Amino acid sequence: QKEVEQNSGPLSVPEGAIASLNCTYSDRVSQSFFWYRQYSGKSPELIMSIYSNGDKEDGRFTAQLNKASQYVSLLIRDSQPSDSATYLCAVNRQGAQKLVFGQGTRLTINP
């Protein structure tokens, strides 16, 4: 079992709809969870971080964390074509400096 798993996609969503990206992790002592967006040929850019169970909202983005189910998700409301990118889920354990990435989900927003 991979430490961090994501559906590689591609995930295709119409413009204006909600895009839902999912990630599961295997290590129960994981403490910090991150979503990065990566455009083709560019470096990863932090979108959201979440550390506690529940929802965290920032503009059109909402991160959801459920530690009991070892599940973290990212919702993008009112999806725009500029949201088309690969979204990387990353997990960090307490005391560990190692950020473990999922394989990434490729998201395409169709106008």
Partner 1 sequence: DTEVTQTPKHLVMGMTNKKSLKCEQHMGHRAMYWYKQKAKKPPELMFVYSYEKLSINESVPSRFSPECPNSSLLNLHLHALQPEDSALYLCASSRGGGIQETQYFGPGTRLLVL
- Contact segment (CB under 8 A) with partner 1 among 16-24, 31-39, 55-63, 71-79 equals 31-39
Nearer to partner 1, 16 or 53 (CB): 53
CB of 100 to partner 1, least distance (A): 8
Q: Which of 42, 55, 59, 110 binds partner 1 (CB under 8 A)?
A: 42
Nearer to partner 1, 43 or 111 (CB): 43
CA separation, residue 103 to residues 8, 10, 21, 107 (Å): 6, 12, 12, 13
CB of 16 to partner 1, least distance (A): 28
Contact between 81 and 17 under an 8 Å Cβ cutoff? The reply is no
Site for partner 1 in 48-107 (CB under 8 A): 49, 51, 88, 92, 94-95, 97-99, 101-104
User: Interface with partner 1 includes 44 (CB under 8 A)?
Assistant: yes
Q: Structure tokens of 16?
A: 């204006």
DSSP strand E in 7-110: where?
11-14, 19-25, 30-38, 45-50, 54-58, 61-66, 71-76, 85-93, 99-101, 105-110
Q: Structure tokens of 11?
A: 């995930």
